[in-house]
Each structure stands twice: as C-alpha cells, then as structure tokens.
Structure 1
Amino acid sequence: MGDRAQRDAEFSAYMEARQASLLRTAYLISGDRHTAEDLVQTALAKLYLAWDRVEDRGSLDGYVRRVIVNEHNSLWRRPFKRREHATDQVPEQAAPTPSSSAGGRDEELWDLVQTLPRKQRAAVVLRYYEELSEAETAEVLGVSVGTVKSQTSRALAALRSRSGDLFDTAGTTQEDR
C-alpha cells in the first residue's frame, strides 16, 4: 500500500470511529443539527489537510474539538446575511435533541443549556459532556484555566437559577432525593 493510500486508510478509520461523537459535541455546542454537521465536516477537512503534520495521534480529538469550537466562534463573526437562508417551507417539527428519547428532565435540562451564552455553553459541554479536565477544556477553547472555571461557574449558577423545581442547589434532581 502506498503512502497516500495508507494515509487515507488511517484517516478514514479515525473518521469512522469518531464522527458520531464529534457530531454530538458539535451539536451540543451549536444547538443546531445542520450547523453541527457543517462544523464537523469543516473540522475533518482541516484535519485531513493537517494529517501528516500531526505527530501525536493521541491528540487528534483535541485538535478536532479545537477546530469545531473555533469554527463555531467564527460563525458569530460573519455577517448575519450569510448565516441565515430563506426557504419556501417552514420545518414542521424541531430537530431532535440528543436526549429527546429520554424525555422529561433531560429535555428540560437541554433546553436550559441552550439558553447559555455560547462560551459558557462550550465550557459546560466540554467539561461535563466530553469530561475534559479544566486544563484540557482551556486548551480547546484557547483560554486560561481561570476563564474555564469562571465560565463554568457562571453557567452552572445560571442553570441552577433558571431550573426552578427541576434541580435543587446541590445539582441533584428532585426525584433523586
């Protein structure tokens, strides 16, 4: 097998193994299924172009997450006209959320997470969904550990204050007590 064929096979194996997880992460960060698909596609395209330069294969997920976050942040810098597209038809139903099959509290929590500012939402998703450490989250977001701590703290405080009866101040559900 030639170098290029081997390279393509390695990349394809990585993409097949990680695409679903990356798509979930992108969806949680963006809140939109189509945007998440675009983010992952862009991130994987950039990874493909950089594949030969990435020496530490263990850092691939971090690299791709960083591209997803950066691309999502750049969406907000683009003019509004380019982000919105008019259509002739209005969708009949909202796109499913990651927890729509679980229903109930999970869906309500997801709705609350979507109300967070994008930086806080990204910090919460990376810390608690992706289970990254504060240092890893800071690296992906390109900020200091202190910023991750403050963004996460503010996000959790906002979620607690908005949750009403869904969660108590300790973060446990009312039904779990």
Structure 2
Amino acid sequence: MMGPMEVVTTGRVREAVPPAATDLVGALFVAEAARLVSLARFFVDDRTAAEDLVQEAFIRLARSSHRIRDEDRAAAYLRSIVINLARDHNRRGLVSLRHRPPAVPDEPSAEETASVRESRREVVEALRALPRRQRDCVALRYYLELGIDEIASTLGVSPNSVKTHLTRGLRSLAAQLEERR
C-alpha cells in the first residue's frame, strides 16, 4: 500500500487514484470480473483477449472513477466499457484476420469441458450472427440476467429500444436454430 493514494500505471502516465475509487474498483472486480470475462467471450473468440479486454475495462474505470456520481451504476458503466472494447477489438481484428493464420482454439478448463455441448455452440454461433444491438441485448438479458432498465443503462438506449431488440433478436435466433436442425 502506498499511503492515502494508490498509483496506477497505465503505460504512459502514472495516475493517483483516491482510496474510495480503489475500493469501488476492487469491489466491482470481486463481484463482476468472472462474469465480464464470460460476457467478453461472446464477442471475441480468444479467452486471453477476453481477459485482456476486461483488465483494460477495469483500468479505464479506475482512471475515470472520479467522474462516477452513482456507484450503483458503476457496474453498468463497466459492462458498457467491456462491450465497446470487444467491438473495437473485433473491428481491428477484421483487418488483421486477412494477414494471419487462424487462432489456435483455447484449451477448455474442466468446468467448460463438462458444460459444453453441441447445442450451446450452435446458440453462441447464432448469437454472434445477430446484428450488434440485438446481440448485445440478448447477451446481457439472458446470459448476465440483467433487467431491461439495466440493459438500457449499459447500452445507453431507451428501455423500449431494448425490448424491440430483444424481440427481434429472439425471433432471429429461433429462426437460425430451426434452420440448423
């Protein structure tokens, strides 16, 4: 411990973070990190990349934690950072995919091996094929089990927009999965 202020090194600048911000980020890490890595895996194929995205999200949250007025909304803010970082990662990846060999699949853990089934793989592939907003809404609603208002807050859209995207996304998922059978 460095005294009343933690120092966070972000690569270029060493920034002082107030203790309250450190406590908030630490509490969110304990409560949300594993779920956020799982969420990021819906958007990126590589587990290591998903873990890196979540780590970067926590660094960004720590840097901007002084701007958070409502600590109850910090988790939604953190989820939106992860989703945006995953989008950026995929955008950059589209260009580099043309110039590199395919990634070696992750080695599944014992827990993943026990729970992975063909149907789950099909659902994830169908989810990834959805348009961006539909995919975001469906993943947040049915994977993280967030309410409509929490999803709206995370994505910065209205609750009615979330409901519309959910309805369309579920309809599209059902059609895609029916085609595969």
Aligned residues: 165
The question of 1:101 aligning with 2:101 is answered no
- Find the partner of 2:82 among 65, 68, 75: 68
Separation in 2 of the partners of 1:29 and 1:81?
16
Deviations 1:41-98 (CA, angstroms, capped at 9, x unpaired): 22111111022332433222111011122223344665843677625x852x466599
User: In structure 1, the residue corresponding to 2:129 is in which secondary structure?
Assistant: coil
Match of 2:34 in 1: 20
Assess if the C-alpha contact under 8 Å between 1:119 and 1:151 holds in 2.
yes
Deviations 1:14-39 (CA, angstroms, capped at 9, x unpaired): 32442111111121244542442232
Query: TM-score, normalized by length of structure 1?
Result: 0.72
Separation in 2 of the partners of 1:66 and 1:17?
16
- Find the partner of 1:37 among 51, 66, 91: 51
- Find the partner of 1:154 among 168, 171, 177: 168
Separation in 2 of the partners of 1:62 and 1:106?
26
Range that drifts further, 48-57 or 122-131: 48-57
Query: TM-score, normalized by length of structure 2?
Result: 0.71
Rate the CA distance shift 1:144–1:46 in 2: closer, same or farther, 3 A: same
Assess if the C-alpha contact under 8 Å between 1:100 and 1:107 holds in 2.
no
Separation in 2 of the partners of 1:79 and 1:19?
23
Unaligned runs of 5+ in 2: 7-18
TM-align CA RMSD: 3.3
Match of 2:5 in 1: 4
Assess if the C-alpha contact under 8 Å between 1:123 and 1:148 holds in 2.
yes
Match of 1:171 in 2: none
Match of 2:60 in 1: 46
Percentage identity across paired residues of the two chains: 30
Rate the CA distance shift 1:29–1:7 in 2: closer, same or farther, 3 A: same
